[in-house]
Amino acid sequence: MARWRTKGLTTKLTPDEWATIARAAAGQPLSAWVRAALLEAAAAPRADQVLLAEVLALRTIVLHLHVAVHTGETLTTEQLQRLIERADADKIRKAQERLRSVTAGRMR
């Protein structure tokens, strides 16, 4: 069953901005291109989330390596790969949680 689009959104553009959008649309109807671009932008993680996620993943890896060095443990290539995969697995979720806690006025 088709879903009707019933909500509208408008904006004003300068002639240069209009030309930039028209070039980016590359022959597609502007409304279709703009709709797709807006939905993609809304679904993508924010830059601060991505940067914080990378820092948190790096922090996890460095702390694990520090503990291994401190205890005299030698990590294998496979162990390092699992550590990296584990750090990467939930980095965006952790970043979103931290950013939410800051915007809510509480720091964990």
Total H helices, total E strands in the chain: 5, 0
Same domain, 52 and 94: yes
Kind plus residue range of the DSSP H or E element containing 37: helix 30-43
Same domain, 33 and 57: no
Same domain, 23 and 54: no
Say what the pLDDT of residue 16 is.
Answer: 97
Same domain, 64 and 36: no
| Domain containing residue 37 | 12-43
Same domain, 99 and 53: yes
Is 5 domain-assigned? no
Say what the pLDDT of residue 33 is.
Answer: 94
Same domain, 51 and 99: yes
- What domain count does the chain have? 2
Phi, psi of 29 (to 5 degrees): -60, 135
Same domain, 30 and 53: no
Q: Where are the alpha helices (DSSP H) in 44-107?
A: 47-71, 77-89, 91-103
This model's pTM is above 0.85: no
Say what the pLDDT of residue 107 is.
Answer: 44
Mean pLDDT in each 10-residue stretch from start to end of the chain (108 residues)? 88 96 94 93 82 93 94 94 92 86 64
Same domain, 54 and 99: yes
| pLDDT tens digit sequence for 63-92 | 999 999 999 999 999 999 999 999 999 898
Is 92 domain-assigned? yes
